[in-house]
Amino acid sequence: MHCLLLCAGYATRLYPLTENFPKPLLPVQGKSVLDWILSDVDTIPGIEQYVVISNHKFYDHFVSWKESSSLSHPITILDDGSTSNENRLGAVKDILFAIDQLDLKEDLLVLAGDNLLDFSFSGFVSFFREKQGTCIMRHYEPSIPRLQRTGVATIDDSDKVILMEEKPKEPKSYWAVPPFYVYKKEDIPKIKQAIAAGCNTDAPGSFISWLCNQTSVYAYPMPGKRWDIGNLDDYEQVKTEYKGPKKQEDSKPVCPAFYNEFVP
């Protein structure tokens, strides 16, 4: 399994901090956001390499980060060629760019480089290996306005995704989908098919919206909290609250019955 980190955004809502510095390398409790993510992934058996997708503006920052890294697996930094928020490729095309550049053909763990969790990704990978199909994460979100700004999935009793929508005006469930995915290797060639079919390429969940109508996709219930560092207030909050991921045995998926209610 390869691990791909989406780090090509420009984080304009965090200016001036990120005007000339990439958000994934901002410090939190003595480590960069990216180091927190990968120090956890580094403990998962079966990971072979890390691929970090950067834009051209911040490429050198990630190269410098790589040179000082002590991770257990090889790291490749890719420059997607974009230079501003206006000409960015978008997450789906960035993923395809990495796949084509490196001829990636194994299962692929795809993670946003600007989100932190208080639980390990190991449970997510174990869930994928149990289901033997492409997987997303899901968490209960009671706020309709927040659901309207994220991916929303409808799930059946076997954890299978029967519908996935990005930023729906009328959400059909309370299951919000954060930007973490495991693509089964057989589904990787379908990314080009999805783009050719008109898949939106900005949000990574758009590919899942298309894919769940083609094959089985499963949703892992998050066993803890996520910090999405979207703006300066979010960054100040995570710097105060974040303590790192808990041990896997201390992280249990929580799914009360009401979580499965559909939005009325």
Query: Which H, E and C letters describe 148-199, residue by residue?
Result: CCCEEEEECCCCEEEEEEECCCCCCCCEEECCEEEECHHHCCHHHHHHHCCC
Cα 161 from Cα 172, distance rounded (Å): 12
Tell me how far CA of residue 54 lies from CA of 7, 25, 182, in angstroms: 5, 12, 20
Give the model's confidence band at 131: pLDDT under 50 very low, under 70 low, under 90 confident, else very high: very high
Structure tokens at 3: 């691990």
Question: In Å, how far from its chain's centre is CA 161?
Answer: 17
Q: What is the mean pLDDT of residues 99-126?
A: 96
Average per-residue pLDDT for the chain: 92
- The pLDDT tens digits for 41-93 are 999 999 999 999 999 999 999 999 999 999 999 999 999 999 998 999 999 99
pLDDT at residue 196 is higher than 50: yes
Share of the chain above pLDDT 90, in %: 88
Reply yes or no on whether the pLDDT at 254 is more than 70.
no
Q: What is the pLDDT of residue 246?
A: 78
Task: Report pTM.
Answer: 0.91
Structure tokens at 85: 């928020």
Q: Do the beta carbons of residue 157 and residue 170 sit within 8 Å?
A: no
Distance CA 188, CA 183 (A): 7
Q: What is the distance of C-alpha 141 from the center of its chain?
A: 17
The verdict on domain 2-118+225-242 having CATH code 3.90.550.10 is yes
In one-letter notation, the amino acid at residue 243 is K
Structure token pair of residue 230: 């979207």
- What pLDDT is stored for residue 202 in this prediction? 86
What is residue 256's predicted lDDT score, i.e. its pLDDT?
46
Q: Report the SS3 class of residue 211.
A: helix
The domain locations on the chain are 2-118+225-242
pLDDT reported for residue 204:
86
- Mean pLDDT check: name the lowest of 40-44, 115-119, 251-255: 251-255
pLDDT band at 247; cut points 50, 70, 90: low
Q: Is the dihedral of CA 155, 174, 176, 201 positive or negative?
A: positive
d(CA 247, CA 124): 13
CB atoms closer than 10 angstroms to residue 160:
16
The mean pLDDT of 248-255, rounded to a whole number, is 48
**pLDDT digits 0-9 by tens, 150-186:** 999 999 999 999 999 999 999 999 999 999 999 999 9
Give dist(CA 151, CA 254) in Å, integer: 20
Give the DSSP letter of residue 22. Answer: -
